[in-house]
Structure 1
Amino acid sequence: MKPVLSPINSQVTKEFKRKYIPVKTKFCISHIAAFIWMCFSIYIALPWLEDLAKILSFPLALLIIGGISYIPGYMNAFLVISLLLDRQPAFKNEYPNDEITILIAAHNEEDKIFQTLHYIDKQDYSGKVKVFVINNGSTDNTVHEVVKAKRELKIEIELLNEENPGKFNALNHALELVETPYVITIDADTLLHPSSIRYLVARMKSSPEDVCAVAGSVLTKNSRENLWTKVQEWDYFLGIASIKRLQGLYQGTLVAQGAYSLYKTNCIKEVGGWPDAIGEDIVLTWRLLQKKWKVYFEPLAVSFTEVPSTFIHFVRQRARWARGMIEGLNEIKPWKQPQVYVKYLTGINLIMPYLDLTFTLCWIPGLILAFFGYNWIVGPMTLLVLPLTLISYSILYFYQRNVVFRRLDLRIRKNISGFIFFILGYQLIMSPVSVYGYIQEVFKFKRNWK
């Protein structure tokens, strides 16, 4: 999934026309199918529940099996059916020319910022683009690289300085100077496909007036570095992308990620800009959703970001994400969200700590016990979740390959070792890391943005 600098063919791909299914109908069908699947799994797992209840008591056995089998199975079934029913609306105009402003907060990014600006310079977007690079207390040659880009590139670049630490401070500083109707945030290490901005703006222009933001698609750019980055390539390509498509389908993408998203400027200003939070993009998105605005996702607006190449940096990043989710839940409770789909989607986040705790404290020890022949917690019935997981990933794989990558003239790199580890072992790491993030937020540990 290597980033390229060649724009896509301008010929619009003909899509197979299908009968339109309303979002409400898709929501109901997906839930009915997921409920039937859960009932089936509960029925055939009754002997497992009875055996575990003899050891731990019925309530505790139900709590454990519910967290590692029933609820994950329900959620996976809901995801699979939703993806099968999903159909991205066609663009009204693939070549918008609205003026936009791009914000890039930079702290010690001397080895990345010029390349990021270079990729922006190569966009096939015909509208006027202005870039604010906000130097947030850098102690390296970040400023020098930005000055070099101003001199050598064609795009309009303005360098700002913000000494107060924190990405939210940097972005809010620049927001005061934004005069265009749309603003895009890009991380300093993120590279854009040549048609990325055009598709991102096109999705916004093709959406209803109550859509306030569009999240772009973020993939990995350093997946060849080691096994760890190879695994994350599949997480971004399949795991995160599937969740984004699900949430976008129900008009409530829960994170218009700061790494690459487009917002209506007036909407951002109305909610007070980016908040002082470790998950500033999560809290911001939930504030926007609370205003009865909608947030979409555009899979064709592809970007490539640098993922953590060491385990410790990965833990820090994903713990921040887990803390950001808790921050969002603390500020805006799901039942206070005015839109029914957003109530449901944010409500799922309420049970994520339970699922992660159950997986960490019960499933992992149960896996060790199963290795020694004790199938009290982990046994054949737990494998029921695996087929649904593979089906959902297969659906998204073919969608990404045939609808997204083929249209963008990209190729999926063979990465078998990363895929195997992603399927079989990734959750063994993710759940404990998320639990670590929850603990950090509960006890208000010091924030760490890097």
Structure 2
Amino acid sequence: MTVEPGSVPSLLTPLRDPPAARRRSGRYLSVQVKFTIALAWSVLWMAGSVWLSLPWLRDLADLTHPVIAVLVITLVAYLPGGVVAFLAASLVLDRQPPLRVTSPTTPVTVVIAARNEAAGIGTTLRYLANQDYAGPVTVVLADNGSADGTAEVAAQAAQDLGVRLVVVDAPVPGKSHALNAALDRVTTGLVVTLDADTLLHPSALRSLVARLESAPDDVVAVAGSILVRNSRDGFWARMQEWDYFLGIASVKRMQGLYQGTLVAQGAFSLYRTDAVRAVGGWPDAIGEDIVITWHLLAQRGRVYFEPLAVAFTDVPVSLRHLARQRARWARGMLEGLRAVPPWRQHTPMTRLMTGLDLVIPALDLGYTLIWMPGLVLALAGYYWVVGPWTLFVLPLTLLVNVILYRFQRRHVFGRLGLRVRRNAVGFVAYVVVYQMVMSPVAVYGYLQELVGSRRRWK
């Protein structure tokens, strides 16, 4: 769906507001007003759903019990519909503020935590060397116990490319330990985390820093936009391409609108160095990027999202590795909820954003234990759980995907010289198969966290 990173232009002109943004006029709506409108629309949608589903509710109550009927329909219809309605309204209302700074020159340190990445670290450094960022960039490589000569390969590549590289030995296993070892060597006011297998679009670093320097002082981090690099590597990679392009990007845009992006992901994000140090660096957690973001939000910081700061990452190509990754993400979300509960956040918007994560495990359980068995029953002709009423949320889901696709194609890909690949098989899999696989995997991750299973970085 996206082009291979190697085919993007090596140089781009300074970013400008798109023509549509310059022409846009009318009354300004504050973020708080947009939040209120989206929340009101979500409540109205849920209220309408309840009214329309009363016959279904009565029929299911006759078959089971009124309490069971309300619980089942809430988990498979009301809550999913309310969440999607809130997301759809937020995307319609979202307007990215224009950049005041378009060509920043502030010194930046890029931190790469690496373990056995010799095969690809040279390519990662090459894309860093090709950034059109005008300021000085230092790369700190935290070698996390590699046995394949990652540090030596990186040092040679940096010398050949003219990259300023500092190698730090981080022998204690775990990504958080590697990141904190690198943090001790950071001397700049801004620090970027970058995964060793992630390649940057030529303007990615500039876009990320420009967004932070155009933002208020209490914005302490900016998450970049992650897209799939290896989408031609099989069925599961093709499916994930649409997940990153539509699903993850839509949630990031919604959270960014309300200035509370919940994950400044380790794959590619920018932080104020003093803010990271103020919360004690990256925590020893399987979802270290989730937990540190929630700590930053709890310290009254705001976290933005920059859709033009595009990076391309490798995604798992087998179901086994995909399941392991998504189970790890599910565990990381529970770690964030435990470390910083939503009620410890300081604004209604961030309390709601983090509070939605309290609902997600229930939705995954409902989908796994109720919706999927209900689908089997529906195929047998019994529409007790899954039937015509459960299709009511589909128009909203389609609206969300259409809004995001048009935004990504015009305002992101169009401005960066990228094109959208044809990937019909992946899209159908994303719509039909994705949730059937991901919800059970997430439930497995929740169980792993609850019983304290051994944590794995990869």
* Structure 1 Cα separation of the partners of residues 182 and 426 of structure 2: 39
Query: Does 2:371 correspond to 1:363?
Result: yes
Which sits farther off after the overlay, 142-151 or 49-58? 142-151
Structure-1 residue corresponding to 2:252: 244
Distance 2:144 2:197 in 1: 15
Deviation (angstroms), 1:112: 1.2
Which residue is equivalent to 1:44?
A: 52
Asked whether the 8 Å contact 2:221–2:264 carries over to 1, the reply is yes
Q: Residue 412 of structure 2 aligns to a residue in which SS? A: helix
- SS of the counterpart of 2:167? strand
1:71-82 correspondence to structure 2 within 5 Å = 71-82=79-90
Residue 423 of structure 1 is matched in structure 2 by: 431
* Letter matched to residue 212 of structure 2: M
Which secondary structure state, in structure 1, belongs to the residue aligned with residue 327 of structure 2? Answer: helix
Q: Aligned to 1:67, what secondary structure does the other structure show? A: helix
Which runs of 5 or more structure 1 residues have no equivalent in the other structure? none
How has the CA–CA distance of structure 1 residues 444 and 201 changed in structure 2, closer, same or farther, with 3 Å as cutoff?
same
Determine which of 12, 18, 37 is the counterpart of 2:25. Answer: 18
Q: CA deviation at 1:54?
A: 1.2
Alpha-carbon distance in 2 for matches of 1:73, 1:24: 22
- Contact 1:5–1:122 under 8 Å retained in 2: no
Q: Which whole-Å CA distance do the structure 2 matches of 1:143 and 1:270 have between them?
A: 29
SS of the counterpart of 2:433?
helix
Cα offset, 1:48, TM superposition? 0.9
Contact 1:300–1:404 (8 Å) recurs in 2: yes
Matches of 2:327 and 2:120 in 1, distance apart?
Answer: 24
Cα deviations across residues 239-296 of structure 1 (Å, max 9, x unaligned)?
0000000000001000000000000000000100000000000000000001001000
| Aligned position for 1:336 | 344
Mapping 1:370-409, distance limit 5 Å = 370-409=378-417
Determine helix, strand or coil for the equivalent of 2:146: coil
The number of residues matched between the two structures is 450
* Unmatched segments (≥5 aa) in structure 2: none
SS in 2 for 1:215: strand
Code of the residue aligned with 2:136 in structure 1: it is K
Of 68, 75, 82, which residue of structure 2 is paired with 1:67? 75
**Contact residue 253 and residue 297 of structure 1 kept, 8 A:** yes
* Secondary structure, aligned partner of 2:75: helix
Q: CA deviation at 1:5?
A: 4.5
- Structure 2 match to 1:208: 216
* Aligned partner of residue 111 in structure 1, secondary structure: helix
In the alignment, the residues of structure 1 paired with residue 379 and residue 235 of structure 2 have an alpha-carbon distance, to the nearest angstrom, of 25
The C-alpha deviation readout for 1:123-165, integer Å capped at 9, x for no partner, is 0000000000111000113123112212211220111111111
**Deviation readout 1:21-54 (Å, 9 max, x if unpaired):** 1011111111111222111111111111111111
104, 108, 131: which one aligns with 2:139: 131
CA offsets per residue over residues 208-243 of structure 1, 9 Å max, x none?
Answer: 000000000000000011111000000000000000
Partner of 2:12: 8
Per-residue Cα deviation, 1:355-406 (whole angstroms, up to 9, x for no partner):
1101100000000010010001000010111111110011000000110100
TM-score (norm 1): 0.99
Q: Which amino acid aligns with 1:82?
A: S
Give distance in 2, aligned partners of 1:192 and 1:427: 29
Q: Which moved more, 1:143-152 or 1:231-240?
A: 143-152
Question: Following TM superposition, by how much is the alpha carbon of 1:10 offset from its aligned partner in structure 2, in angstroms?
Answer: 3.3
Q: Contact (CA 8 Å) 2:9, 2:417: kept in 1 or not?
A: no
2:32 aligns to what SS in structure 1? helix
The residue type equivalent to 1:6 in the other structure is S
Q: Over the residues paired in the alignment, what is the CA RMSD in angstroms? A: 0.9
Deviation of the 1:115 alpha carbon: 0.5
Aligned-partner residue type, residue 319 of structure 1:
A
Shift of 1:11: 6.4
Q: CA deviation at 1:177?
A: 1.3
Q: Does 1:193 align with 2:201?
A: yes
TM-score by length of 2: 0.97
Contact 1:8 1:407 in 2 (8 A): no
The equivalent of 2:108 in structure 1 is: 100
**Mean Cα deviation higher: 12-21 or 286-295:** 12-21
Q: Deviation string for 1:58-79 (max 9, x for gaps)?
A: 1111111101100110111111
Code of the aligned partner of 2:147 = T
Asked if 1:167 is matched to 2:171, the reply is: no
Identity over aligned pairs, percent: 52
1:85 aligns with 2:93: yes
1:33 paired residue number: 41
Aligned-pair CA distance for 1:93: 1.4
Deviations 1:285-323 (Å, cap 9, x if unpaired)?
Answer: 000001001000000000000000000100110001100
Tell me which residue corresponds to 1:55: 63
Q: CA deviation at 1:331?
A: 1.2
- Alpha-carbon distance change, 255 to 7 in structure 1, aligned in 2, over 3 angstroms: same
Contact map agreement 1:256 1:281 (CA 8 A) in 2: yes
For the residue of structure 2 that corresponds to 1:112, the secondary structure is: helix
State the SS of the aligned residue for 2:186.
coil
Runs of 4+ deviating beyond 4 Å? none
The CA distance in 2 between the partners of 1:222 and 1:232, in whole Å, is: 10
Cα distance in 2 for partners of 1:143, 1:6 equals 26
8 Å Cα contact 1:5/1:119 also seen in 2? no
Measured at CA, do residues 11 and 77 of structure 1 come closer, stay the same or move farther in structure 2, by a change above 3 Å?
A: closer
Structure 1 residues 267-278: aligned runs within 5 Å: 267-278=275-286
Give matches, 1:231-310, under 5 Å.
Answer: 231-310=239-318
